[in-house]
Amino acid sequence: MQIVAEKLNFVYNKKTKFSVKALDEVSLTIEEGDFFGIIGHTGSGKSTFIQHLNALVPVQEGILKVGEYDLSSTAKKDKKALKKLRSKVGMVFQYPEYQLFEDTVFKDVAFGYSNFFPEATKEEKSKAVCEALRLVGLDPEEYAERSPFELSGGQKRRVAIAGVIVTRPEILVLDEPVAGLDPKGKRELMKLLHLLHEKECKTIIIVSHDMDEVAENCNKVAVFSEGKIVRMGTPKDVFSDAEEIKRLRLDMPLTGYLGQTLRENGFSFDFDLTEEDFIKKLQEIKRG
Ligand SMILES: Nc1ncnc2c1ncn2[C@@H]1O[C@H](COP(=O)(O)OP(=O)(O)OP(=O)(O)O)[C@@H](O)[C@H]1O
Ligand SMILES: [Mg+2]
């Protein structure tokens, strides 16, 4: 499913003295298959935008189409269509493990499923839950009957993600998926997201404050600033202007910074900002 936004505007507390313009003429296309990164300083509208994608935040002005669903039209009032959309666009909030509440992992993941498929049989539910657990790398035999509260932070987050992918969404949206995890936990979770991207969810969208993570993992990036998209393209395009990145109060990814330093020292250095490509180009220089 392709996502197309055209001139989306959104104001919180509209027509009150507390009104805040959170989105300002946001236009973008996210193609099926993208591993899309959304970055920007705090308060720039990132969460407001992604919450539009499954109608948690309603379209006030502009156009938003997610596959066949037109969220800007009156169709959004069609409850059945909305439910279907939400099963197709999975949303993982920041620190999703705080929303775990059942006494077993199985029940927590099943909760997400029953919400969308109340008519499913016990067997169908059990199959879906076990598959979702396997997809996030948790063996159902070992984890299904455990309490989510006795798991590690990374494992809890996997359970929370299983509770979203249990409906088999085509698009998975995650707000700061690795926030608060240690470096190993971060790497493992990003690896999991790539695995899901390969096997299960056609499109992945992440909001991130970590520029290394975005440069390493995303094929396309949009930069938000004060509700507007101010830059969009491959990580290489987006981070090509170090001065602008600084003006936007963002960091450069480490690979971008190293590439720039090498260029300033006379090396011709043009690469994709991933570690793999960086090392490849270094080896080429070494070989002369
Ligand atoms: N529920 C709300 N009520 C009123 N204003 C809000 C609400 N949620 C967000 N805002 C405001 O809208 C603007 C955009 O907020 P949003 O949460 O989308 O930013 P963000 O880019 O996700 O920030 P962060 O990186 O801190 O998560 C901010 O000015 C914020 O204060
Ligand atoms: Mg946010």
| Claim to verify: residue 152 and residue 58 sit in the same structural domain | yes
| Closest ligand by atom to 227 CA | 1
Q: How confident is the model at residue 21 (pLDDT cuts 50, 70, 90)?
A: very high
| CA 114 to each of CA 22, 64, 133: distance values in angstroms, whole numbers, following the listed order | 33, 28, 16
| Claim to verify: residue 269 and residue 183 sit in the same structural domain | no
pTM of the model: 0.94
| Closest ligand by atom to 49 CA | 1
Calculate how far, in angstroms, residue 56's C-alpha sits from the geometric centre of ligand 2.
14
| Claim to verify: residue 92 and residue 235 sit in the same structural domain | yes
Contacts of 274 (CB under 8 A, 6+ apart): 215, 216, 255
Calculate how far, in angstroms, residue 45's C-alpha sits from the geometric centre of ligand 1.
6
pLDDT for the residue numbered 284: 85
Domain hosting 75: range is 3-252
| Claim to verify: residue 161 and residue 259 sit in the same structural domain | no
| Claim to verify: residue 175 and residue 261 sit in the same structural domain | no
pLDDT for the residue numbered 76: 56
**Is residue 236 within 8 Å of 33, Cβ to Cβ?**
no
Closest CA to 132 of 106, 99, 171: 106
**Is residue 272 within 8 Å of 236, Cβ to Cβ?**
yes
| Claim to verify: residue 245 and residue 258 sit in the same structural domain | no
Nearest CA to ligand 1 atom 29: 43
Token pair listed for 165: 């992918």
pLDDT for the residue numbered 24: 98
State pLDDT tens for residues 101-146: 899 999 999 998 998 999 999 999 999 999 999 999 999 999 999 9
Q: Ligand 1 in contact with 95 (CB < 6 A)?
A: no
Calculate how far, in angstroms, residue 250's C-alpha sits from the geometric centre of ligand 1.
17
288 pLDDT more than 80: no
42 pLDDT more than 60: yes
Specify the number of domains making up the chain. Answer: 2
Residue reference for tokens 């919450």: 51
82 pLDDT more than 60: yes
Instruction: Report the residue among 9, 11, 12 best suited for mutation to probe ligand 1: largest number of ligand atoms under 8 A from its CB.
Output: 12
| Claim to verify: residue 245 and residue 261 sit in the same structural domain | no
Distance CA 162, CA 148 (A): 12
pLDDT for the residue numbered 40: 94
72 pLDDT more than 90: no
Buried b (16+ CB within 10 A) or exposed e, 170-209: bbbbbbbbbeebeeebbebbbebbeebbeebbebbbbbbb
Calculate how far, in angstroms, residue 173's C-alpha sits from the geometric centre of ligand 1.
17
Q: Ligand 1 in contact with 56 (CB < 6 A)?
A: no
* Amino acid identity at 135: L
Q: Ligand 1 in contact with 23 (CB < 6 A)?
A: no
What mean pLDDT is reported for the chain? 92
| Claim to verify: residue 148 and residue 39 sit in the same structural domain | yes
**Is residue 86 within 8 Å of 56, Cβ to Cβ?**
no
Per DSSP, which regions of 57-152 are E strands?
61-66, 69-70, 89-92
Distance CA 113, CA 108 (A): 9
Contacts of 176 (CB under 8 A, 6+ apart): 94, 95, 206, 207, 208, 209
pLDDT for the residue numbered 104: 96
| Claim to verify: residue 200 and residue 258 sit in the same structural domain | no
| Claim to verify: residue 237 and residue 269 sit in the same structural domain | no
pLDDT for the residue numbered 281: 82
What CATH number has the domain bearing residue 80? 3.40.50.300
Q: Ligand 1 in contact with 46 (CB < 6 A)?
A: yes
Nearest CA to ligand 1 atom 30: 43
| Claim to verify: residue 136 and residue 246 sit in the same structural domain | yes
43 pLDDT more than 80: yes
269 pLDDT more than 80: no
pLDDT for the residue numbered 164: 95
Nearest CA to ligand 1 atom 18: 45
pLDDT for the residue numbered 74: 53
Distance CA 254, CA 265 (A): 17
pLDDT for the residue numbered 81: 86
Q: How confident is the model at residue 29 (pLDDT cuts 50, 70, 90)?
A: very high
| Claim to verify: residue 150 and residue 21 sit in the same structural domain | yes
190 pLDDT more than 70: yes
State pLDDT tens for residues 208-256: 999 999 999 999 999 999 999 999 999 999 998 888 999 999 999 988 8
Rg (CA), the chain: 20
